[in-house]
């Protein structure tokens, strides 16, 4: 069974456990994100579903599906890119906290990580010192991946 198929099956179970349904079209959109190590836009997913499944989803439906998938914690939105990516922990059963996203500015590959507690604490202290309160430590970090770094060298 493919990596994507495994993730979709797992997602289907966890949806069911939460009383939600992972319909066919939702699976198609999710698979579009699971296929890719880069984030994809709603309209790119429209194209993907068309090309891959001959399914002509209206953009509105894709946005609704993306909302659903986010509610189910299967997908994250990258605000700085206006794109979406499958959760890296989609096969994990433990609830996952807030992640950070490393985005390669060369090849656009995205990696979801959890930076360590002490760094988050440091960040939070800085925010407090400035008279603000950290609402969410979800960060989208402008980086370069190893491959691109090596290619440049």
Partner DNA sequence: CGAAATAATGATATGCTGTATCATTCTTGG
Partner DNA sequence: CCAAGAATGATACAGCATATCATTATTTCG
Region binding DNA by CB under 7 A among candidate stretches 2-10, 18-26, 112-120, 140-148: 18-26
Query: Please, which of residues 15-74 interact with a second copy by CB under 8 A?
Result: none
Query: Which parts of this chain interact with Zn ion (CB under 5 A)?
Result: 87, 89, 99, 104, 106-107, 109, 145, 148
Contact, 85 vs 122, CB < 8 A?
A: no
Contact, 40 vs 33, CB < 8 A?
A: yes
| Nearer of residues 8 and 39 to a second copy, judged by Cβ | 39
CA distances from 63 to 23, 49, 101, 106, 128 (A): 15, 13, 21, 27, 35
Q: Which of 7, 33, 34, 65 binds DNA (CB under 7 A)?
A: 65
Residue 5: which of Zn ion, DNA, a second copy, none does it interact with, CB under 5 to 8 A by kind? none
Q: How far apart are CA 141 and CA 100, in angstroms?
A: 7
């Amino acid at each position: 069974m493919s990596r994507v198929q495994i993730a979709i099956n797992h997602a289907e179970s966890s949806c069911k456990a939460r009383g939600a349904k992972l319909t066919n079209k939702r699976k198609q959109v999710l698979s579009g994100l699971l296929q890719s190590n880069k984030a994809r836009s709603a309209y790119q997913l429209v194209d993907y579903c068309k090309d891959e499944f001959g399914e002509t989803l209206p953009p509105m439906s894709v946005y609704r599906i993306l909302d659903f998938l986010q509610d189910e914690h299967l997908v994250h939105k990258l605000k700085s890119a206006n794109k979406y990516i499958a959760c890296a922990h989609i096969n994990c059963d433990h609830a996952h906290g807030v992640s950070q996203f490393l985005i390669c500015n060369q090849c656009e590959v995205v990696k979801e990580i959890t930076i360590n507690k002490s760094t988050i604490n440091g960040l939070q202290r800085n925010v407090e010192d400035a008279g603000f309160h950290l609402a969410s430590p979800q960060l989208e970090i402008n980086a370069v991946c190893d491959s691109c770094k090596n290619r440049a060298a």
